[in-house]
Structure 1
Amino acid sequence: MHVLVVHNRYSSTQPSGENRVVDEEVELLRSAGHRVGLFERRSDSIGARSLLGKAAVPLLVPWNAAVRRELTARLRAERPDVVHVHNVFPLLSPSVLAACADAGIPAVATLHNYTQVCPPGTLHRDGRPCGECVGPKVPLAAVRHGCYRDSRLATVPLALGLAVNRRRWWSGVERFLCISAAQREVLVASGMPAERLAVKYNFVPDPGTGRTGPGGHLLFLGRLTETKGIPLLMAAWDRLAAEGGVGVPLVIAGAGPLDREVAAWAADRDDVRFVGLYDPARCREAVAGAVAVVAPSLSRETFGLVVAEAMAAGVPAVAAGHGGFAELVEDGVTGLLHRPGDVASLASLVRRIVADPARNQEMGRAARRRYERFFSPAVGLERLVEEYRAAIAGRTESMGGS
């Protein structure tokens, strides 16, 4: 099969699970003998633009005519079987769908977040869930609240792009790949076409090695933001420390807007190690050496890559009991689910998962079995190819009926 992958790569200064998913899917397809091309833009390139060029970037968010022309020409020249769209913000835009239509190539789109119904894609605002923009209305609430980067001006291009391109997305994509059933449920309820929405979990490469003992630390691995729950985790850890601690340190690996706050909080503490960004090898090592991975997100995660990675290594998770986490983690079997946003609940379950090593290791073994059943590369490849074939068949049927 010949696949062209379309993706706007996120900045390299921040950890991006989405970039990793794209790279790993491309490698998986190629290793299985499929021909895979890339049509990319990189957010890193914005910094090298002139002042005028930087100022023009928001204008490209709703529509980039140059991208449409370039991609159409490439599709007509190469004639791939299917186009797989990932992220189009900020430099590609939904014009990529027009290019697919121009060339008559079916499009599949992985929905890594909620940008189809929420301009910043989080369904989260001011520390709580938010659905004000969900539905057929123009997402003016997002602009009013400045939901993207706390800026009304920065939110305008996203809100405009969502409003003017909603129908193009819904009619121009043969198959939408949701990365959890929880995500699909939200999107169907928002009015997206249910018959085009399939569930295809992200897969996680087998790390090749797993936890061999009880583990020596608890691990938070991800972006240091309020929505990822890092302030919640800090508050829970302070509560545990005041009660005598849990006997193992907390390792925080990541980067983000709360870098300074986390560094200041962790300074001069024996029970916390703030290590910054880890490369992939160090991430695997940190996961395999953990008692548990802690994922206390306040927002309803569409999947939860760090939890799946822990499962691959035979490590249980303590995660927020909503969104994709509630689907990945079998509460009490492969990990524990705390009440979202609740400091006391999080602290209690962190203590519980450390306190019983035998039960912890049993949960780790169950987590590994669940990984093999749902999130392994073999399963991911099978589901991906199935959806490509369904998209190609759907396009053929629609053309035959027209």
Structure 2
Amino acid sequence: MKVLVVHNRYRSEQPSGENNVVDQEVELLAGAGHDVRLFERRSDDIASMSLLERATVPLRVPWNPASRVALAEVLRADRPDVVHIHNTFPLLSPSVLAACTDARVPAVATLHNYGMVCPPGTLYRDGHLCGECVGKKPVPAVQHGCYRGSRVATLPMAVNVAVNRRRWWSGISRFLCISDAQRQVLIGGGMPAERMLVKHNFVAEPAVRRTLPGEYVLYLGRLTEEKGVRLLMNAWERLDLGMPLVLAGTGPMQDEVSRWAAARSDVRYVGLADKARCQELIARAATVVVPSTWLEAFGLVVVEAMAAEVPAVAAAHGAFPELIEDGVSGVLHQPGDVASLAEALRQVIAPARNREMGEAARLRYEKGFTPSVGLDRLVAAYESAMG
């Protein structure tokens, strides 16, 4: 089939899971013989705009007529069977939905976060979970400056959610949720349950898998409060596991993490790693720890660990309970609880149990998260939308 993928790429200066998912799905579809085209805008381009153009970008977040016109031209020329929309912020806007409706081309949308019911898409504010805007007008988000701590920056996103909510709900044939946990939250916010499918992200077969006992506990991800980094640091202070903690990634807490690691003999901070280095780090780990304090809509690093036969320790909320069978393919800990996280780490590194959980994690990957499974679910969603 002919598929047109619509995506606003995030800035290249910071790693983006969404960009990676889009690239992997395009490659997967093309490899299976489908005709895949891209309609993209890049947030990197904002830096090269004139001062006037940059100043008007927030005004075009809720509606960008130029994007509608440009996509309409592509739809007339290519006439795809289906349009797959990912991210429209900030340069595309929901005006792309109108172009699809005008051209009578069915559209599906992957929901990578909670942006349909929460302007910043996180359901997280001031160090705690927040659902004040779910199913309501997003006024609290503006009051609290939920996006980048700024009311001014949050306003265009709140307006976008408020004025385009019904347009999304009526203009998309099928929504693809990346976990059932995310789906339930969005349905609770009023989204149409009958058009919301669960399609987990897939992970390609890793270049390396674990063959020897793990050498360390690994945290791989953004260094932020909501990712549970400080929770992990506090838990590690209580532990003496006989192996080091390795932290890889970058983010707002980078300097704090670097200083903490430098002061301890059992902690190593290795900074930002490329894809090959990440796979190597995972394959040598005894466990990957994901102690997020916010509701992760998926958990890509958990599945990457499963693929490498490495069990994960993760918070027992968000998508993690549907990815990890507690005590079988990994260990879940009570969200936000230092003692529970410490105990989970003790449990997961016991040698015999660690090996068994790693094997179970690999089986879980093979059944639910391989590229072939992802392709089947993606094509099924397109066929459902077209039907």
**TM-score (ref. length: structure 1):** 0.95
Q: Residue type of the partner of 1:104?
A: R
Q: Residue type of the partner of 1:215?
A: G
Query: Which residue in 2 is equivalent to 1:80?
Result: 80
Q: Residue type of the partner of 2:347?
A: R
Structure 2 residue matching 1:76: 3-state secondary structure: helix
2:29 is the alignment partner of 1:34: no
Q: C-alpha separation between the residues in 2 aligned to 1:215 and 1:47?
A: 43
Identify the range of structure 1 (365-374 vs 270-279) with the bigger mean alpha-carbon deviation.
270-279
Aligned pairs for 1:10-159 (under 5 A) are 10-135=10-135, 137-159=136-158
Equivalent position to 2:378, from 363, 366, 384: 384
Equivalent position to 2:270, from 249, 261, 275: 275
2:201 is the alignment partner of 1:207: no
Aligned pairs for 1:291-306 (under 5 A) are 291-306=286-301
Q: CA deviation at 1:212?
A: 0.3
Aligned pairs for 1:303-342 (under 5 A) are 303-342=298-337
Listed one character per residue, the Cα deviations across residues 251-297 of structure 1 (whole Å, up to 9, x for unaligned) are 11111111111112112422111111111000111111110000011
Structure 2 residue matching 1:363: 3-state secondary structure: helix
Q: C-alpha separation between the residues in 1 aligned to 2:270 and 2:154?
A: 32
Identify the range of structure 1 (57-66 vs 381-390) with the bigger mean alpha-carbon deviation.
57-66
Unaligned runs of 5+ in 1: 394-402
Contact 1:15–1:222 (CA<8 Å) still a contact in 2?
no
Q: CA deviation at 1:360?
A: 0.3
Q: CA deviation at 1:170?
A: 0.2
Q: C-alpha separation between the residues in 2 aligned to 1:47 and 1:365?
A: 47
Identify the range of structure 1 (121-130 vs 366-375) with the bigger mean alpha-carbon deviation.
121-130
Q: C-alpha separation between the residues in 2 aligned to 1:308 and 1:290?
A: 14
Q: Residue type of the partner of 2:22?
A: V
Contact 1:15–1:254 (CA<8 Å) still a contact in 2?
no
Query: Which residue in 2 is equivalent to 1:375?
Result: 369
Contact 1:15–1:255 (CA<8 Å) still a contact in 2?
no
Q: CA deviation at 1:307?
A: 0.2
Structure 2 residue matching 1:341: 3-state secondary structure: coil
Q: C-alpha separation between the residues in 1 aligned to 2:238 and 2:16?
A: 30
Q: CA deviation at 1:341?
A: 0.7
Contact 1:14–1:223 (CA<8 Å) still a contact in 2?
no
Q: C-alpha separation between the residues in 2 aligned to 1:366 and 1:200?
A: 21
Q: C-alpha separation between the residues in 2 aligned to 1:45 and 1:287?
A: 34
Q: C-alpha separation between the residues in 1 aligned to 2:365 and 2:176?
A: 19
Query: Which residue in 2 is equivalent to 1:364?
Result: 358
Query: Which residue in 2 is equivalent to 1:180?
Result: 179
Query: Which residue in 1 is equivalent to 2:191?
Result: 192
Q: C-alpha separation between the residues in 2 aligned to 1:325 and 1:18?
A: 18
2:229 is the alignment partner of 1:237: no
Contact 1:6–1:40 (CA<8 Å) still a contact in 2?
yes
**TM-score (ref. length: structure 2):** 0.98
Q: CA deviation at 1:209?
A: 2.8
Q: CA deviation at 1:63?
A: 0.8
Structure 1 residue matching 2:341: 3-state secondary structure: helix
Listed one character per residue, the Cα deviations across residues 171-196 of structure 1 (whole Å, up to 9, x for unaligned) are 00000000111111111111100111
Query: Which residue in 2 is equivalent to 1:396?
Result: none
Q: Residue type of the partner of 2:290?
A: A
RMSD after superposition: 0.9
Query: Which residue in 2 is equivalent to 1:353?
Result: 348
Query: Which residue in 2 is equivalent to 1:226?
Result: 225
Identify the range of structure 1 (265-274 vs 77-86) with the bigger mean alpha-carbon deviation.
265-274
Q: Which consecutive aligned stretches of 4+ in structure 1 deviate over 4 angstroms post-superposition?
A: none
Contact 2:207–2:279 (CA<8 Å) still a contact in 1?
no
Q: CA deviation at 1:115?
A: 0.2
Q: Residue type of the partner of 2:3?
A: V
Identify the range of structure 1 (120-129 vs 259-268) with the bigger mean alpha-carbon deviation.
259-268
Q: What is the percent sequence identity of the aligned residues?
A: 67
Query: Which residue in 2 is equivalent to 1:398?
Result: none
Q: C-alpha separation between the residues in 1 aligned to 2:234 and 2:42?
A: 36
Q: Residue type of the partner of 1:370?
A: R
Q: C-alpha separation between the residues in 1 aligned to 2:231 and 2:91?
A: 34
2:285 is the alignment partner of 1:286: no
Q: C-alpha separation between the residues in 1 aligned to 2:110 and 2:265?
A: 42
Count matched residues. 387
Contact 1:210–1:314 (CA<8 Å) still a contact in 2?
yes
Contact 1:142–1:159 (CA<8 Å) still a contact in 2?
yes
Equivalent position to 1:247, from 230, 239, 242: 242
Q: C-alpha separation between the residues in 2 aligned to 1:236 and 1:61?
A: 41
